[in-house]
Amino acid sequence: MKTPVIAQKSPAVQKAEKGTYHWCSCGRSKRQPFCDGSHAGTEFKPMKVEIGEAQTVAWCQCKHTKTPPFCDGSHMSLPKA
Q: Which domain holds residue 53?
A: 12-77
Phi and psi at 34, nearest 5°, equal -105, 160
- Give the span between the Cα atoms of 49 and 52, in whole angstroms: 10
Q: How many CB atoms lie within 10 A of CB 68?
A: 15
Walk along the chain (81 residues) and give the pLDDT tens digit of each residue: 589 999 999 999 999 999 999 999 999 999 999 999 999 999 999 999 999 999 999 999 999 999 999 999 999 999 876
Q: Is residue 49 part of a domain?
A: yes
Taking the model in full, what pTM does it have? Answer: 0.93
Domain count, the chain: 1
- Rounded to whole angstroms, what are the CA distances from 77 to 11, 35, 67, 72, 74? 14, 25, 15, 11, 6
